[in-house]
């Protein structure tokens, strides 16, 4: 089966611009998560979808970040307007049912650089 796909792999944008990251989970996985790693720090949870519904968005940094998952398939994470501190690697992960015990399948991440 295809894995979790993230696009783009790298993005360099100027402060104030908008960027949209995309994640295609494994087909049939209802749970989709976004995580972020800021340089040298831990990977932090951003939000969690079950199908198209946001179940937990407690990790979203502020209202410049908007996540959607139309139709419960792929998800997008938009940053508008981007700030320097938004730079980091954004990971997407998906899982099917028992997320607590099996963990997730992660994508390769999108490296975002805001200059």
Contacting residues toward other proteins, per CB under 8 A: 9, 31, 33, 35, 37, 40-45, 48, 55-56, 59, 89, 91, 93, 95, 99-109, 111
Residue 114 CB, nearest distance to other proteins (Å)? 18
**Closest CB to other proteins among 22 and 37?**
37
CA 89/CA 39 separation, integer angstroms = 8
Buried b (16+ CB within 10 A) or exposed e, 14-43: eeeeebebbbbbbeebbbbbbbbeeeeeee
Report the nearest approach of other proteins to the CB of residue 60 (Å).
Answer: 13
For tokens 């790693």, name the residue. Answer: 37
Kindly tell me which of 4 and 114 has the beta carbon lying closer to other proteins: 4
Closest distance between other proteins and the C-beta of residue 81, in Å? 26
Q: By C-beta, is 81 or 106 nearer to other proteins?
A: 106
């Amino acid at each position: 089966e295809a894995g979790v796909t993230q696009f783009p792999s790298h993005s360099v944008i100027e402060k104030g611009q908008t960027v949209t990251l995309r994640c295609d989970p494994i087909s049939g996985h209802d749970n989709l998560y976004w995580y972020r790693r800021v340089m040298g720090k831990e990977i932090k949870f951003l939000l969690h979808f079950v199908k198209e519904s946001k179940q937990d968005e407690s990790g979203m940094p502020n209202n410049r970040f908007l996540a959607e998952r139309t139709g419960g398939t792929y998800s997008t994470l938009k940053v508008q307007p981007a700030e320097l501190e938004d730079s980091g690697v954004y990971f997407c992960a998906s899982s099917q049912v028992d997320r607590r015990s099996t963990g997730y399948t992660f994508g390769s991440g999108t490296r975002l650089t805001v200059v």
